[in-house]
Structure 1
Amino acid sequence: MKTRVLGKTGATISEIGFGAWQIGGSWGDVSEADGKRALNAALDAGVTFVDTADVYGDGRSEKIIAAVLKERGGDKPFVATKAGRRLSPHVTEGYTGENIEAFIDRSLSNLGVETLDLVQLHCPPTEVYYRPELFGALDRLVAKGKIRHYGVSVEKVEEALKAIGYPGVATVQIIYNIFRQRPHELFFAEAQKKNVGVIVRVPLASGLLSGKISKDTAFAADDHRNFNRHGEAFDVGETFAGVPFEAALEAVEQLRPLVPEGVPMAQFALRWILEQQAVSVVIPGARNEAQAQSNAAASALAAIDDETKAAIAAVYARLVKVHVHDRW
């Protein structure tokens, strides 16, 4: 497992992390036992970065992580969580220092720690990025010892660019994959200039870039790939990266011949992301041990040649760009 530095946090972490949304909820039935096995498999494979949130299963994901790390003992991975989506309604006015501190206190309890490694504002409304008093409150929470670092998880490139103007923002989590290429046009270079860590989520476009989903694939009622297909519950960009399902399936078929023989498409898609040196870590999820092990193995893949990169860019331009590029 290769490592990278997480921006101004200074932490050296595995370039493949573990996204813990799936072991919390909204991905169909993933038992606690399966969730623990998946996380253990990732850690055994050299993963040292785990990303979760207080709303994943209403704290279930955080508690599973705490239980696994307690059982394992020894060196702990870097654990990032998120705060803000517990607000109901989820509005700008709810993003106060007091509310965020209350969410942080709950995550401290769920994770069984005295200080959180990293807290990220969890895709807040755009207006929140224009409230410097909130970022000042986060600075004070660092001074109080409740958090070591803070960052933001964003929906839009513009939000990311605004956020890194605050000197205390150590990381930005953003959607980036073969179907969502805009971040590498400008944002990645700006993040590098400011030594901001980049955490890439939705790297497989909710499984589409595994190449294993077809038009006949059925998703459980409690799987967001069913209930958020058109953005009914949260931003549609979080589900299939915002690409219309049929268009995405066509793009997958165009990508399939570009994948080296014997390499799973999911690993190839992760390797494509890691070609960007601005990326600190990519956080695919996993429902079981096999998926976790396969994700981790992507770190060992050879670099993608320029001809293949150009072919990938052409598929994006032809079939995907019109649907997503200017929305996020």
Structure 2
Amino acid sequence: MNSKKTAFYNTDKKISKLGFGAWGLSGIFEQCSEKELIHSVRNCLDQGITLIDTARDYGDSERILGKALREYTGRQPLISSKIQSKGPGMLRWGMPRNINEVFPKGWITKSAEESLRQLGKEKIDLFQLHLYWANWGVQGYWMDELQELKASGKVDHIGISIPDHRHENALIMVNSGLIDSVQTIVNIFDPYAFDSLIPLCQEKDIAVLARCVLDQGGLTGFLTSGMEFKQGDLRKVLFPPEIREEYIARVNSLQQYIPTYASSLTALSMKFVLAHPGVTSALISMHIEKYANQNIAIMQEDPLPEEIFQEIRMQHRWLKNLFSKVYWSNGIYEEK
């Protein structure tokens, strides 16, 4: 694992190509004890993970992560967090809203202070807008607040996280030269960021954090037709019965690459995203030790051959939005 490092942005900081996505620390998927979650963080750090991505919107994630880091005596990882957005329910994630609603004046600074308190840190390595729409432009009081956080030393780098597959939303901001990173969905079914966004980030020397690499777990092959999820498990909404048959069929079609090019579907999915040199780090939920250890071990496999990467990229793309019911259907999912 130690050899699988990459430079972050245009600095001499080296981070692991595999990052710890800390949404799982909130209990949004499985319910784990706080002790188990803290252990999961330490387990990954001990094995060379040097990037952890969390958010104000991830429930208790920042607090639990902060506690784990205070107990950890080894080298501290790079911590990225995201500014909690405001607005009318979940609709702001599906459609552009006025920036004055989503990030009102002073809110970014307030969110940063709360993140620092929860994490127990004096500085956040990377601080991202947890929502960005191109119609907001690139300048305004909100950008001034981000730049002031950098100037004050409370934040080292700033970036944006875009809500879903509409990657073109980030292009105007990447071209502005005002940010250091972009976080976006990238996976076998949604490789669209490889078309324009990631090459532009390479050109502008901007870090790319890939999320939803396993498509909320769907690309691990865990999903079955009759599977039922416990109440409160987000996957109950993400994988409704009406899409399951097609989803399962598309996942099964990837079995042709196993085991010649990857040891498992999970390995294929991870290696696909990391095959592109423009991806700085791939963020994956690693709050379950068993799966975290399996994911870390995958990093020792040979990379995908270029021709297989391109074949999968062209032949298995599938434009969909698992979050459509989360964003646009009232009462199906409520924020806690």
TM bucket by the smaller chain?
A: 0.7 to 0.9
Question: For 1:19-34, what aligned pairs fall within 5 Å after superposition?
Answer: 19-34=21-36
User: Counterparts of 1:153 and 1:48 in 2: how far apart (Å)?
Assistant: 20
Q: Give deviations 1:167-199, integer Å, cap 9, x for gaps.
A: 230000000000101111111111011110000
Q: Give deviations 1:244-267, integer Å, cap 9, x for gaps.
A: 433221111000121226813212
CA contact (8 A) 1:53 1:81 kept: yes
Give the match for residue 233 of structure 1. none
Structure 1 alignment gaps of length 5 or more? 231-242
Structure 1 residues 206 and 133, CA, compared in 2 at 3 Å: closer, same or farther? Answer: same
Deviation at 1:20, TM superposition (A): 0.3
Give the match for residue 327 of structure 2. none
Give the match for residue 313 of structure 1. 313
Give the match for residue 79 of structure 2. 79
Deviation at 1:30, TM superposition (A): 2.7
Give the match for residue 149 of structure 1. 157
| Greater relative CO, 1 or 2 (CA 8 Å, sep 6+) | 1
| TM-score (ref. length: structure 1) | 0.87
1:186 partnered with 2:188: no
Question: For 1:103-118, what aligned pairs fall within 5 Å after superposition?
Answer: 103-118=111-126
Aligned with residue 169 of structure 2, among 159, 165, 189: 159
User: Counterparts of 1:109 and 1:66 in 2: how far apart (Å)?
Assistant: 9
Deviation at 1:229, TM superposition (A): 5.0
3-state DSSP of counterpart to 1:222: coil
User: Counterparts of 2:306 and 2:123 in 1: how far apart (Å)?
Assistant: 43
CA contact (8 A) 1:5 1:11 kept: yes
Deviation at 1:34, TM superposition (A): 2.3
Give the match for residue 127 of structure 1. 135
> Partner letter of residue 128 of structure 2?
Q
3-state DSSP of counterpart to 1:213: coil
| TM-score (ref. length: structure 2) | 0.85
Structure 1 residues 9 and 215, CA, compared in 2 at 3 Å: closer, same or farther? Answer: farther
Q: Give deviations 1:287-319, integer Å, cap 9, x for gaps.
A: 3111111112222110212453354235415xx
> Partner letter of residue 172 of structure 1?
V
CA contact (8 A) 2:15 2:51 kept: yes
Aligned with residue 100 of structure 2, among 93, 100, 114: 93
Question: For 1:241-280, what aligned pairs fall within 5 Å after superposition?
Answer: 244-260=243-259, 263-280=263-280
User: Counterparts of 1:288 and 1:247 in 2: how far apart (Å)?
Assistant: 28
Give the match for residue 196 of structure 1. 206
3-state DSSP of counterpart to 1:173: strand
Give the match for residue 217 of structure 2. 207
> Partner letter of residue 167 of structure 1?
G
Structure 1 residues 84 and 163, CA, compared in 2 at 3 Å: closer, same or farther? Answer: farther
> Partner letter of residue 244 of structure 2?
F
State the identity %: 26
Give the match for residue 225 of structure 1. 235
Structure 2 alignment gaps of length 5 or more? 325-336
> Partner letter of residue 32 of structure 2?
V
CA contact (8 A) 1:18 1:283 kept: yes
Aligned residue pairs total 308
3-state DSSP of counterpart to 1:8: coil
CA contact (8 A) 2:125 2:157 kept: yes
Deviation at 1:158, TM superposition (A): 1.3
> Partner letter of residue 121 of structure 1?
L
CA contact (8 A) 1:254 1:315 kept: no
User: Counterparts of 2:231 and 2:193 in 1: how far apart (Å)?
Assistant: 32
More off after superposition, 189-198 vs 163-172: 163-172
Give the match for residue 168 of structure 1. 178
Structure 1 residues 97 and 286, CA, compared in 2 at 3 Å: closer, same or farther? Answer: same
